[in-house]
Amino acid sequence: MDSLSTVTDLYDPLPPGHVRLLDFTNAQYQDGDISCSLFSACLDSAPDYAALSYAWKEEGESDPEGRLIVNGLAVEVQSNLYNAIRSLCNTMRADELMLWVDFICINQADLDERGHQVQLMRRIYEQATYVVAWLGLPHRDEQIQKAIEFMEFFTTVHNNHPGAEPLASF
């Protein structure tokens, strides 16, 4: 299944200064699929959301390996994105889980929209309640584990420095 041809049915044009967000508040799980809704919001008055940063594909991956049901439509996604969303749905309070995910929240088939949304990305990440940097499933890669250990070490050193403002997370 071609993700772009399926996903384009989800999109109405975005007014200036608007983004789309995924709402997992009432997420349903069935046969491995995760259902959610997609809606648009003005960045100036958007609800709290998390922005997800991730690698679009795992090394060597070619075909989508996961599926979301967005506003009732099947959207095939790469395993890295599917695993990130599944993990967030399992670890966060479902009543607070709104996500901005570039692959789904930006109409990838509309070059004009992509250009406008890319110009908003700094603001999208700055205004997010928090940003999740998805490095992959736990313990899959020794380099990822080392990166996590370094971030934990850096956070500890930074937070113990006199006068430093504590980091929200690592």
- The DSSP 8-state label assigned to residue 69 in this structure reads E
- Answer whether 0.85 is exceeded by the pTM: no
24 lies in the same domain as 64: yes
The sign of the torsion formed by the CA atoms of 138, 140, 142, 144 equals: negative
What backbone phi and psi angles, to 5 degrees, belong to 60?
85, -5
pLDDT in tens, 71-85: 999 998 998 899 999
What is the number of structural domains in the chain?
A: 2
Element (H, E) at 36: strand 33-42
SS3 content of the chain, % helix, strand, coil (to 5): 40, 25, 35
129 lies in the same domain as 63: yes
48 lies in the same domain as 89: yes
Which residue range is the domain that position 87 belongs to?
3-137
8 versus 38: the higher-pLDDT residue is: 38
